[in-house]
Amino acid sequence: MIQRIQSQAIDREIDALVASTDVFVTCVLHVGSKSLSHVLAAIERTKDRLADAGAASDAARAQIITATMTYWSAHPGVALRIIEKLLNYSILTPETVITWALVSRAGNTRGEALSVAYVYEMVFNTVVKVTGRVRQLVAKPPLEGETDEEQQEAAATRDREIGAMRALFAAIEDALASWATGSKDEMMEASETEGDSEGERLVRRWGERWLRVFRRRAAIEEAFLAEAEKERARKAQQQEEGKGSSMQVDIEASDVA
């Protein structure tokens, strides 16, 4: 079936992978449409196939989100839970979700998607998931008895996740700044034909609000990182001092003996 869909898509000069992914995801959602627990179970059974589709291209990952939001358009809360599950399985990436919401979805609606509650919730939940992961890593105390190699590996993981978080905030900044300033292509095209309408002014205000929220969130996370680094350095110093004290006690005990 999938091969036939891909063949027909190629004949019609449509992206074969996107077309087959759309059909496959829609079928999975239909099988689990009875309830949220049913759809989550259906995703659990097909997660390997979904992971293969998601790993194939950015367009395929974006289509997974589009298919999910379209199928559950009457119940966006269920769609958001599904998106969260797909993020947990790494079928989707945080960058894909942000791009879909703030670039594709917002662009297709000329920015009106910024006023939709579930779009904001999707972006916010994704940011919380990423920042929560980073907070767990940076707040994790060094374990006693860790080898230098284990400490280096933990530090590399921590730095990688911090870099990914900062890149995510940068992507959000880039996407929202153009909406807030009215420099988005879709808004400029509308201005040329319709002038500075009330709708465009509303979109700019929504863009400014979004931008303010996520700039504050980024600042909060940077402050948390700074405090966590200080705490980690303090604990490391305490451990070194503790080792020095233990060595001194052992030396004094040996002298007495």
Structural domain of 170: 93-257
User: Do 37 and 2 belong together in one domain?
Assistant: yes
- Give the burial class of 200: count Cβ atoms within 10 A of its Cβ; 0-12 exposed, 13-18 middle, 19 or more buried: buried
User: Do 171 and 249 belong together in one domain?
Assistant: yes
User: Do 16 and 101 belong together in one domain?
Assistant: no
What does the pLDDT look like over 45-85, one tens digit per residue? 999 999 998 898 899 999 999 999 999 999 999 999 999 99
pLDDT, position 192? 55
Q: Which of 151-155, 192-196, 248-252 has the highest mean pLDDT?
A: 151-155
pLDDT, position 114? 96
What does the pLDDT look like over 168-218, one tens digit per residue? 999 999 999 999 988 776 665 655 555 567 888 899 999 999 999 999 999
* Structure token digits, residue 201: 């002014």
What does the pLDDT look like over 18-29, one tens digit per residue? 898 999 999 999
Tell me, yes or no, whether 88 lies in a domain: no
Confidence band, pLDDT 50/70/90 cuts, at residue 32: very high
User: Do 69 and 176 belong together in one domain?
Assistant: no
User: Do 77 and 155 belong together in one domain?
Assistant: no
Least confident window among 30-44, 133-147, 156-170, 209-223: 133-147
What does the pLDDT look like over 101-120, one tens digit per residue? 999 999 999 999 999 999 99
Confidence band, pLDDT 50/70/90 cuts, at residue 152: confident
pLDDT, position 186? 63
User: Do 78 and 146 belong together in one domain?
Assistant: no
DSSP, residue by residue, the chain: -HHHHHHHHHHTT--HHHHHHHHHHHHHHHHTTT-HHHHHHHHHHHHHHHHHHHHH-HHHHHHHHHHHHHHTTT-HHHHHHHHHHHHHTTSS-HHHHHHIIIIIIHHHTTTGGGG-HHHHHHHHHHHHHHHHHHHHHHHPPPPTT--HHHHHHHHHHHHHHHHHHHHHHHHHHHHHHHHHHT-SHHHHHHHHHH-S-HHHHHHHHHHHHHHHHHHHHHHHHHHHHHHHHHHHHHHHHHHHHHHHHHHHHHHHHHHH-
Last residue of a domain, one of 82, 117, 139: 82
User: Do 24 and 139 belong together in one domain?
Assistant: no
Confidence band, pLDDT 50/70/90 cuts, at residue 242: low
Confidence band, pLDDT 50/70/90 cuts, at residue 3: confident
pLDDT of 144 above 80: no
User: Do 156 and 67 belong together in one domain?
Assistant: no
pLDDT, position 12? 80
pLDDT, position 59? 93
The total of structural domains in the chain comes to: 2
User: Do 113 and 239 belong together in one domain?
Assistant: yes
